[in-house]
Structure formats: C-alpha cells, structure tokens
Amino acid sequence: MPEKGIKKLVLGGCRSGKSRHAEQWASDNFQQKTYVATLSRQGDAEMDRRIDLHRESRGNGWQLVEEPRDIVAVLAPARAQNEVVLLDCLTMWITNLMMAELTDPQIEDEILRLKQTVASANYGIVLVANEVGLGLVPESAMGRRFRDLAGWCNQQMAEVCDQVVMVAAGLPLTLKG
C-alpha cells in the first residue's frame, strides 16, 4: 500500500493505456477514490461514447466530479474526502483553458496554482496527461502554443510528483520514483 499522500503523474500518447494504468493503480491501492474528469459531455457523439467507455472501465467505487477548468478548487486539500483523487486529464484541462480564451500568463498561473495544490495535498493524487512533444512540430501557432503549454504543465507536475510513469502500448515505464 503506497503512503497516504503519494503523488503520481502518468504520461502517454493517445490510446496508450495511460488512463487504464492510472485507474488500475488507484483501484489496487485505495478504497475511497474520486475521479475528476476534465472532459464533459458537449453533444459530440464520438466523445460521449469515449466518456461512457471510461465510466464503464472504472466500474463502481468511484466518486465522479466533472470539472473542465477550476480543478484547483476540486483538489484543494480541505475538500479532499477520499484517499486518492485521479485527475484525467491535464491535457484536456489546458485545452479548456485555451478555449476559455485565457492568455498564456493566465494559464501558466493556473498551472502554478495546481502545482502548489498538488505539492501540499495530504492525500494521494494521480494526474493523467498526454505527452504531446514527441511528434511533429504543429503547423499552426495555436497548435504550437498548446504543445508548449502542455509540455510545461507536465514538467511542473513532474517536479512535485513522487512517481512519474510513461505508458506506451499499455506498458508502463517508470521515469521517476
């Protein structure tokens, strides 16, 4: 059983198995679990099906919180009622902040607020994020902005996490811890 306040960052590409790895780790090690989803239903049938598949794969035993932007309020230590909180995913959170037309400095401030919250939490936290910097340089300015913000976010979270795992083809590779 991991120690009470362990922080873990799980990175991977799209469909790499990162969410499944994070969910399994949390289920294997904790009984009281909260799942914080940064993607909510918006009328896109394909994305709604993905949400359904995620819910089905988790099974029972999870408290669900859907919060697209203000994840610090959800993660604030005073609000933690469970042993572990799994947040899926930081990459969608960055997208949501960009779509809300926050500037880069505003998004960076949100990332630093999250970093401080994660570092000071007295309960387990598992963060899931896409590793988006392994491919081609995006063609558009918005794509490059997204890649840069997501990469910087991942670096900030890795600094305060006890464990960092990269998942590829469903296989975890420990990078830290």
Per-residue pLDDT reduced to its tens digit, 47-87: 677 767 766 666 678 888 889 999 999 987 646 567 999 99
Catalytic-role residue among 20, 27, 29, 54:
54
Q: Is 54 a catalytic residue?
A: yes
Q: How many CA atoms lie within 13 A of 85 on its CB side?
A: 25
Q: Give the residues across from 64 on adjacent strands.
A: 35
Percentage of the chain exceeding pLDDT 90: 70
pTM for this entry: 0.90
The answer on pLDDT for 138 being more than 80 is yes
The answer on pLDDT for 88 being more than 60 is yes
Q: Across residues 154-169, what is the average pLDDT?
A: 98
Q: Confidence band (pLDDT; 50, 70, 90) for 92?
A: very high
Is residue 130 within 8 A of residue 87, CB to CB? The reply is no
Domains in the chain, start-ordered, CATH in brackets? 7-176 (3.40.50.300)
Q: Across residues 108-137, what is the average pLDDT?
A: 94
Percentage of the chain exceeding pLDDT 70: 89
pLDDT at 21: 96
Residue pLDDT, tens place only, 5-45: 899 999 999 889 999 999 999 999 998 899 999 987 677 77
Is residue 25 within 8 A of residue 56, CB to CB? The reply is no
